[in-house]
Amino acid sequence: MTRIKAVLAALATIAAVLVVAPASAQASGETCYWITAKSNSNCDNMTSTDTMLPECWQGPYTQPRSATVYSGSAGTITVYLGYFQGLTGQCRSVMARMLISVNNGTTLTNCYARLQRASDGKTLYSWGTTSIRQTDLLYDAGTTSAAWATCTVNGTSYSNGTTGY
């Protein structure tokens, strides 16, 4: 009976370590990390209002890739691939951001920004016709992601996307 209790206690300790602290995060001290290699991260689906890892949103932000979705008499629509390093440089998370600047009277429908991670195809969307649409974050250390946007302007559909980064 004592031996069974000892084995159960050892198994409980091992299970607690595995659940509380993934090895990849413990070993490297990373803010964001892969739970399942290149397909699931603790930073996936975060928003600017999440308090779990605010340092990702507060650190350096760049838009290394962009693509024009629409440019014409009604205005412009551009999609950007945004990249967050985080305060410690350990965030490596991306989002898609669509900027819409159109003239009054322009009819916009079916507008969305899309972000897709290359390693597993995980895709996030942000639908709407407000001046800024942005997806939640995806972690993409060791892989690439791309942004895409689609919008119907005065009855004609336009789409374009960035190259991977």
| pLDDT at residue 79 in the model | 98
Query: Which pLDDT band holds residue 128 (cuts at 50, 70, 90)?
Result: very high
Concatenating the DSSP letter of every residue in the chain gives -HHHHHHHHHHHHHHHHHHH--HHHHHH--SS-EEETTTEETTTT--TT--SSHHHHHS-EEEEEEEEEEEETTEEEEEEEEEE--TTS---EEEEEEEEEE-TT--EEEEEEEEEETTT--EEEEE--SSEEE---EE-TTS-EEEEEEEEETTEEEEEEPPP-
Residue ranges and CATH numbers for the domains of the chain are 31-161 (2.60.40)
- Flag whether pLDDT at 20 surpasses 50: no
pLDDT mean across residues, the chain: 82
Higher per-residue pLDDT: 53 or 44 = 44
Q: What is the pTM of this model?
A: 0.78
| pLDDT at residue 66 in the model | 96
- Flag whether pLDDT at 52 surpasses 90: no
Query: Going by DSSP bridges, is the β-strand pair 34-36/40-41 parallel, antiparallel, or unpaired?
Result: antiparallel
Higher per-residue pLDDT: 46 or 8 = 46
